[in-house]
Amino acid sequence: MRLDLITIVVDDYDPAIEFYTRALGFDLVEDSPSRTNDGRPKRWVVVRPPGAETGILLARADGPQQTPAVGNQVAGRVGFFLQVDDFDAAHARMTAAGVEFVKPPRTEPYGRVAVFLDIAGNRWDLLGPA
């Protein structure tokens, strides 16, 4: 058993792909045309950190129920955790790419951590070894 995908609801596909691939260094695994249940066009877009098994399905918000979820998928909590081997290098690269860090790096018993926002406004932890 394994967790294959999680979904992050975004405003639009292309800016989200740009953020995850350029700013975070993820791989674009798939970008295929698809259709909603009622036949409207959409895309199946999957990004994944290099070497990871679990990917992220980037889903464009569709309608009044999904739009408010953009950037608030876990009610303002940190809901996503990106583990890196070299915290300082990843933090510097992400900062240079324009990623917004909302809390400065700190050291905790479990390692180095800094909170950042994705393109939608969801909170993530960047995590590295102590």
Transcribe the chain into DSSP letters. ----EEEEEES-HHHHHHIIIIIS--EEEEEEEEE-TTS-EEEEEEEE-TT-S-EEEEEE--STTTGGGTT-TTTTSEEEEEE-S-HHHHHHHHHHTT-EESS--EEETTEEEEEEE-TT--EEEEEE--
Topology match between the domains 1-62 and 74-130: yes
Q: CATH number of 74-130: 3.40.50.450, 3.40.140.10, 3.10.180.10, 3.40.1000.10?
A: 3.10.180.10
Pairing, β 55-60 against β 123-128: unpaired
- Confidence band, pLDDT 50/70/90 cuts, at residue 38: confident
Residue 20 pLDDT? 98
- Supply the pTM of this predicted model: 0.92
User: If you average pLDDT over residues 61-89, what whole number do you get?
Assistant: 95
Looking at the domain covering 1-62, what would its CATH class be? alpha beta
Q: Are 45 and 13 in contact (CB under 8 A)?
A: yes
- Confidence band, pLDDT 50/70/90 cuts, at residue 37: confident
Ranges of each domain in the chain: 1-62, 74-130
CA distances to 2, 3, 6 from 54, rounded to whole Å, are: 8, 6, 8
Average pLDDT, the chain: 96
User: If you average pLDDT over residues 51-58, what whole number do you get?
Assistant: 97
